[in-house]
Amino acid sequence: MEALKSRRGSYRRALGRALVEAGERCRDVVVLDADTPTSTKTIAFARAFPERFFNIGISEQDLVDTAAGLAIAGKIPVAAAFAMFLMRAWEQVRNTIARDGLNVKLVGTHAGLQDYMDGASHQAFEDVALMRTLPGFAVLVPADEAAVRALVLEAVLNHKGPVYLRLGRDDAPVVYEEGEEFRVGGSKVLIDAVDAVIYAYGPMVGVALEAARILRRQGIHAGVVDVYTVKPIDRETVVRQARKAGLVFTLEDHSVYGGLGSAVAEVLSEEAPTRVVRIGVRDSFGTSARSYPELLEYMGLTPERMAERVRGEIS
């Protein structure tokens, strides 16, 4: 856990910087928030481009519909809110954005276990499941600050169509060097599979890498794949790594129902039937804690616990 405690990148600050960069590159980029700009860090864009920033207030349904209208008018709207509360507007997302394939980028911050202080009411474990069912939606989950910057710029400036970007809060691992390239529909093989493979996304990529290091010292070689695009998932990489290992684990700070575990299992059931051990939040809500590492320990999502699960399945 010490490695986790020493890594203090910030997903939301990386978001603020990336939005400003996107705004500098394209005048059609506009940003909307649901009265949480200091928390989501969209305040950085508001200060740089006040005429292109819209604080809609605590009304996520209006946030989504206003973003849809701006997209119809030819703008590139980025609408941000806490992931849990953005799901209030799922009906509007479905019927207004998805049905018309509008070029709206939705950003859910403080997702998963990252909002450790506020407890179950603020911890979204269902958002990936909800958003990946929507036709035409891309679902992206960056692992660290460098990935946030790259994927925000890719989604906003290059990808045409609706996107859901799932972000944590502040406890971001350091996985990539600045300048690493990402594409919608891609993934990254960080450690090649041998005895087993762990598919992860977001902050769980750091947990998976640390678990792999623990296992390597114990003579077990576990691969790690950053599935930063949950939809459209990189089927080729998922299948190739699973065939190399024969034993598959998924790790996510999301419900095991409908999230990454389900997405990987769906692909493998069709193309390479393989045992899939889904590790995440299993049919429960979260709770509050004094720190993010403490909450990971309580939920059983530490590198040490992950390594134990892998070792137990191989033994």
Tens of pLDDT, residue by residue over 10-25, are 999 999 999 999 999 9
Q: Tell me the pTM.
A: 0.95
Q: Is residue 295 part of a domain?
A: yes
Is 210 an active-site residue?
Answer: no
In terms of domains, do 129 and 194 share one? no
Does residue 275 sit within a domain?
yes
Q: Is residue 65 located within the same domain as residue 117?
A: yes
Residues 21 and 155 in one domain: yes
Tally of structural domains, the chain: 2
Integer CA distances (angstroms), 111 to 27, 107, 251, in order? 29, 10, 15
> What does the pLDDT look like over 37-95, one tens digit per residue?
999 999 999 999 999 999 999 999 999 999 999 999 999 999 999 999 999 999 999 99
Domain shared by 126 and 204, yes or no: no
User: Quick one: 127 and 214 in the same domain?
Assistant: no
Residue 4 pLDDT more than 60?
no
Q: What mean pLDDT value characterizes the chain?
A: 96
- Same domain flag for 126 and 15: yes
Residue 231 within a domain:
yes
- 223 & 128 share domain: no
Residue where a domain stops, chosen among 131, 166, 201? 166
* 292: in domain: yes
2 occurs within a structural domain: no
Flag whether 172 is in a domain. no
pLDDT one-digit tens code per residue, 210-242: 999 999 999 999 999 999 999 999 999 999 999
Question: Mean pLDDT, to the nearest integer, of 107-113?
Answer: 97
Torsion of CA 51, 52, 57, 58, to 10 degrees: -160
pLDDT of residue 1: 43
Percent of the chain exceeding pLDDT 90 equals 97
Contact partners, residue 247, CB within 8 Å, separation at least 6: 195, 196, 197, 274, 275, 277, 313, 314
Residue 110 has a pLDDT of 97
Predicted local confidence at residue 269, as pLDDT = 97
The CATH number that applies at residue 192 is: 3.40.50.920
CATH (domain of 64): 3.40.50.970
| 47 within a domain of the structure (yes/no) | yes
Q: Which of 21, 60, 154, 252 is catalytic?
A: 60
310 and 193 within one domain? yes
- Structural domain that includes position 101: 9-166
Question: Does any domain span residue 180?
Answer: no
Residues 158 and 228 placed together within one structural domain of the fold: no
pLDDT at 8: 72
143 and 41 in a single domain? The answer is: yes
pLDDT digits (tens, 9 = 90+) for 137-157: 999 999 999 999 999 999 999
Residue 5's pLDDT band (cuts 50, 70, 90): very low
- In terms of Cα–Cα distance, which of 187, 203, 183, 305 is closest to 254? 203
Give the pLDDT score at 7: 55
Using alpha carbons, select from 203, 237, 236, 230 the residue that is nearest to residue 306: 203
What is the C-alpha to C-alpha distance for residues 274 and 114, in angstroms, rounded to an integer?
Answer: 31
